[in-house]
A and B are shown apart, each in its own frame.
Chain A
Amino acid sequence: MNGKPLVYLDNGASSQKPQSVIDAIDHYYTSQNSNVHRGVHYLSQIATDAYEVTRRKLRTFINAAHEHEVIITKGTTDSINLVASSFGNTFINEGDEVIISEMEHHSNIVPWQILCESKKAILRVVPINDAGELDMATYRQMLNERVKIVSITYISNSLGTVNPVKEIIELAHQYQIPVLLDAAQAIHHTVIDVQKLNVDFLAFSGHKMYGPTGVGVLYGKEDLLNKMPPYQGGGDMIKDVTFEKTTYSDLPFKFEAGTPNIEGGVTLAFAIDYINSIGLDKIAQYEHELLAYATKQLEAIEGLKIIGKAKEKSGVISFIVDQIHPYDIGVILDKLGIAVRTGHHCTQPLMAKYNIPGTVRASFGLYNTKEEIDILVEGVKRAITMLS
């Protein structure tokens, strides 16, 4: 890029894909392409089987109890909107409360704002400390009988903070409050076992976990999903349709209206296989080393301040430099072939809390190297020289 080898450090936004996933997309369209769950001919059966293989692999990947608890959606945002709409409209009423946190991505803020406005419910926000950690003491105090759902990010896309999700869930469950975890940044950085966590809903996207775009997952406990009405109506989510009355499919199809992103669904399995072939534990360990190395190198730069210093961090490192706008640094790094992200990272309330216009964010994937971090550090130093 710009005449330089690309150093891709924007994995928090999206990841690059392994050859197996790219080949699978090609293979799908040349040999498997047909609509799913509908046809009687052989090709449609191939496509359907391939699609359902992904569902099976997803179940194992997150250790869900049942395949039908894995709803294939358009992505994390779609999944959260599904819960806010379907669970929210049924179970949340005037005066009820929804808890989110100060570090949430807009996709885990706005759907709840829309719900609360429509139902006259109250949105409560758990504050964070300067290090970017959730104020758990305040969280405890916020829990009461009026709270109907807690929706929190597992790993912050701006700060890298890893939240104490087990504790968050246990505390909420003391009041029978279900918890949704936004796992968009977590699914490929750490092993997630939904039964062990006892989480009620989990949302994540395919494209961040080395898979295709336009596909994602909502995991939900069967009891909850069964109580929730359909989100979107249409083909495939129905049993019988008459103009007098329509009955709905069982899980998971109840929440999968219309023709899905079939190619996305089919090829997501290959991303899972790819991750498993290396081992998520190994990946997490390696990325942790990268993060530690990057932190050390960047901290040594004069005038540079790291935003987000939680004791437990993963995946991203956000920083600002004294007197220099993050956008300027981002442009210079781009000219040097280094892709980072600058700005508010879809967490405007968080930036407002730190009173900054945004940060420069380097986010790691399993293919990044220490050499690339060295290039980043040199790039940042050069940018600072140019901009001071």
Chain B
Amino acid sequence: MAKYEYIIQIGKELPLIDPIYKKSEYLIKGCQSQVWLHADLIDGKVVFTADSDAIITKGLVSLMVKVLSNQKPEEIVEADLYFIDEIGLKEHLSPTRANGLVSMVKQMKMYALAMKANV
């Protein structure tokens, strides 16, 4: 439970996304919670900002952003997110979990892939 208290805390602390990006073209719809994701290419690195309407998802989103943001596109594309398993949060990233998180990670990799082509 302490794990979740931590996730909730980081979820609450970080207003991650510029509100102008909280619209449908940046929305990743999940069955349970929604996630907004924006990506910029700055100095050859992909910078993500994101947000969610559910705090726990938001906390997990912020974790993913901490790990994946500010990296080169190819590093993101190839990232093996084993740490999720290690910290015992694999269930939240399983494809059967109908939250926006799974789709968000996919989208992050797709942005990176697209930006890889542009670098």
Residues of A that sit less than 8 Å from B by CB: 324-328, 330-332, 335, 342-344, 357-358, 386-387
* CB-CB under 8 A for A325 and B98, given A358-B32, A386-B8: no
Q: List 13 A-B contacts (CB under 8 A).
A: A324-B55, A325-B57, A327-B33, A328-B54, A331-B56, A335-B4, A343-B98, A357-B33, A357-B34, A358-B32, A386-B5, A386-B8, A387-B55
Is B53 on the interface with A (CB-CB < 8 A)? yes
CA distance A332 to B31 in the complex (A): 18
* CB-CB under 8 A for A327 and B1, given A357-B33, A357-B34: no
CA distance A330 to B56 in the complex (A): 10
Interfacial chain A residues near B31, Cβ < 8 Å: 343-344
Is B99 on the interface with A (CB-CB < 8 A)? yes
B33, B98, B99: residue with the most chain A Cβ atoms closer than 10 Å: B33
B33 with A325: CB separation less than 8 A: yes
Interfacial chain A residues near B34, Cβ < 8 Å: 357
B36: shortest Cβ distance to chain A, in Å? 14
CA distance A314 to B33 in the complex (A): 27
B4: shortest Cβ distance to chain A, in Å? 6
Residues of B that sit less than 8 Å from A by CB: 1, 4-5, 8, 31-34, 53-57, 98-99
The 4 closest A-B pairs by CB, nearest first: A325-B54, A327-B54, A327-B32, A327-B33
Interfacial chain A residues near B32, Cβ < 8 Å: 326-327, 330, 342-343, 358
Interfacial chain B residues near A328, Cβ < 8 Å: 8, 54-57
B57: shortest Cβ distance to chain A, in Å? 7
Shortest Cβ distance from A336 into B: residue: B1
CA distance A325 to B55 in the complex (A): 7
Interfacial chain B residues near A387, Cβ < 8 Å: 8, 55
B91: shortest Cβ distance to chain A, in Å? 9
A386 with B33: CB separation less than 8 A: no
A332 with B33: CB separation less than 8 A: no
CA distance A342 to B97 in the complex (A): 12
Shortest Cβ distance from A344 into B: residue: B31
B4 with A386: CB separation less than 8 A: yes
A327 with B99: CB separation less than 8 A: yes
A126: shortest Cβ distance to chain B, in Å? 26
B4 with A332: CB separation less than 8 A: yes
B53 with A357: CB separation less than 8 A: yes
Interfacial chain B residues near A358, Cβ < 8 Å: 32
A57: shortest Cβ distance to chain B, in Å? 35
A327 with B57: CB separation less than 8 A: yes
